[in-house]
Amino acid sequence: EHHQHFVSGSIGISIAPDDSTDLNELIQFADSAMYKSKNDGKDRYNFYNAQMTKDAKERFILKTTLHYALKNNELDIYFQPQIDKEDNLIGAEVLVRWNHPNKGIVSPYHFIPLAIELGIIDKVDLWVIENAIIQHTKWQQKGLKVGILSCNITMYDIEKDRFIDDIKSLIHKHNFNPYYLNLEVTEETIMKNPKKSIAVLNKLKNLGININIDDFGTGYSSFSHFVEIIERIPVKLLKIDGSYVKKIPESEKAEKIVKTVNSMAHSLNIKTVAEFVENEKIVEKLEKLGVDYAQGHYFEEPRILV
Ligand code: C2E
Ligand code: MG
Ligand code: MG
């Protein structure tokens, strides 16, 4: 349809006879090296080394035990506040952690990709959303105003036929006001499947749930194509990717990117959130640039709240 697409390659390399002389093992080693390339951010190559076999074993152990994490109640939700220009609390992002019986706290960066591979990411995300709803209801009953909770979802949720019905059931089950729930989808997810994203995100909006675009600036989308898509999605907040935000005190280029993204969002009537706000210098710059909201370690690290 005359759209421009950006394709990247993640490559793993193993070499005979140095790494192995067995064909299957060579392929397996190249595969481990390819996973490293993907995990390092894609669009790069890596040569195999022995540490990768150790990492692959670790992955395997995590993957097999992740099946039991939900059943054994090993997941926790952490909250990170989001602040407006006058330092008022507007809400919080809900971030999942896996409290592994032997390994301690496992980051979602490690286990979300495994949950996707296992095909249980929708169960994880629905668990997170339901527990966020339960916690919000408890706070409201105590008279505490925490604002809007934002939960993360993936492409695999959007592509599941039952997702909308599952969310609808959760809202009804807990008699929850959907105004207090935002769902975050990355720019990358939307641009990978714009048609489905537009359909599903509009259905969520019809349920009363607002949509945030996460990690904006890393999805490699062409600008005109993105604007065309975004105008068909009811977006409430656009989150400027932390990799730019945290560099604005020392990088003019990062500052220009944040400034441009911020004006683009405002011209589409979308409010902006800066993530990875780590120090006062960043806060000062963001104020100058007119970014609406902020979230980051400078204000508070994600933590369990009851
Ligand atoms: P995200 O949605 O972009 O979340 C922001 C990440 O930045 C969080 O990492 C947060 O802890 C971290 N962060 C917050 N403030 C700062 C800061 O000032 N500096 C730095 N360097 N980092 C900061 P976390 O909690 O490890 O989550 C990582 C990613 O995992 C999230 O990125 C999100 O994509 C995914 N994730 C987390 N919870 C869920 C979930 O329930 N479902 C799904 N599908 N994905 C989740
Ligand atoms: Mg997020
Ligand atoms: Mg983000």
pLDDT over threshold 90, residue 46: yes
**Closest alpha carbon to 77 in 120, 132, 122:** 132
How many CA atoms lie within 13 Å of 214's alpha carbon, on the beta-carbon side? 18
pLDDT over threshold 90, residue 76: yes
pLDDT over threshold 80, residue 116: yes
The secondary structure of residue 241, as a DSSP letter, is P
Residue nearest to atom 3 of ligand 1 (CA): 215
Residue type, 5: H
pLDDT of residue 26: 97
pLDDT of residue 5: 79
pLDDT over threshold 90, residue 3: no
Residue nearest to atom 2 of ligand 1 (CA): 152
Determine the Cα–Cα distance for residues 212 and 11; give it in Å rounded to an integer: 32
pLDDT of residue 41: 83
pLDDT of residue 288: 97
pLDDT of residue 13: 98
Q: Could you read off the pLDDT of 179-236 as tens digits, one per residue? A: 999 999 999 999 999 999 999 999 999 999 999 999 999 877 788 888 899 999 999 9
pTM score over 0.85: yes
- How much of the chain exceeds pLDDT 70, in percent? 100
Mutate to test the pocket of ligand 1, among 75, 78, 79, 95 (most ligand atoms within 8 A of CB): 95
- Write out residues with Cβ below 6 Å of ligand 1: 80, 95-96, 107-109, 112, 125, 128, 152-154, 184, 214-215, 242, 275-278, 296-297, 302
pLDDT over threshold 90, residue 89: yes
pLDDT over threshold 90, residue 58: no
Q: Could you read off the pLDDT of 137-175 as tens digits, one per residue? A: 999 999 999 999 999 999 999 999 999 999 999 999 999
Ligand 2 center to 67 CA (angstroms)? 23
pLDDT of residue 219: 75
For the chain, the average pLDDT equals: 95
Contact 14, 33 (CB under 8 A): yes
- Give the DSSP H/E element, type plus range, for residue 272: strand 271-274
Contact 183, 204 (CB under 8 A): yes
DSSP-based three-state secondary structure for 279: coil
Average pLDDT over residues 102-109: 95
pLDDT of residue 2: 84
pLDDT of residue 107: 96
